[in-house]
Structure 1
């Protein structure tokens, strides 16, 4: 689930990332950032390995956690809501807004 949410927030930052995303999109026949819910966590062997969201995130980030972190910190909230409908991210954001923010706001 975490990797699907990371993919929901992915915005290529340079030409290399754009090319990697394009190559993955071509291989999958869909954009994994737009439809990360179509990826499968159990795919570790070729040729299905590219369908594993962990593999896709690894390819897009080069294994750099700080790059992953940028996806959820810098991506506009409305874009995360739009892309996260099928991964549960939109529901999670809504729940945070409905339950946690009022609690934090009342503590001030």
Structure 2
């Protein structure tokens, strides 16, 4: 009888415990804003000599058709070689960022 009472109490306790568990679902929303930089057209001679030296390491033999600069000093250059044009972005120091 004592075992029956303990078994019944255990079953009741487990059922309360099972019903007391709750699941919480959280939803997070991320928003990404992409803002295009504004570049101002400049003369190719206005690109710093340090930057030109670094740029020529990656694009030796290319000629500069157009040059632009952003407010943060980043350069956007249109380069050509053998009739092929490439638009490349460089930091103010002439470090390669990416081809656009």
TM range (shorter): under 0.3
Q: Which structure has the bigger radius of gyration?
A: 2
- Larger % of helix: which? 1
TM-score if structure 1 supplies the norm length? 0.22
TM-score if structure 2 supplies the norm length? 0.23
- Larger % of strand: which? 2
Which structure has the higher relative contact order (CA within 8 Å, separation 6+)? Answer: 1
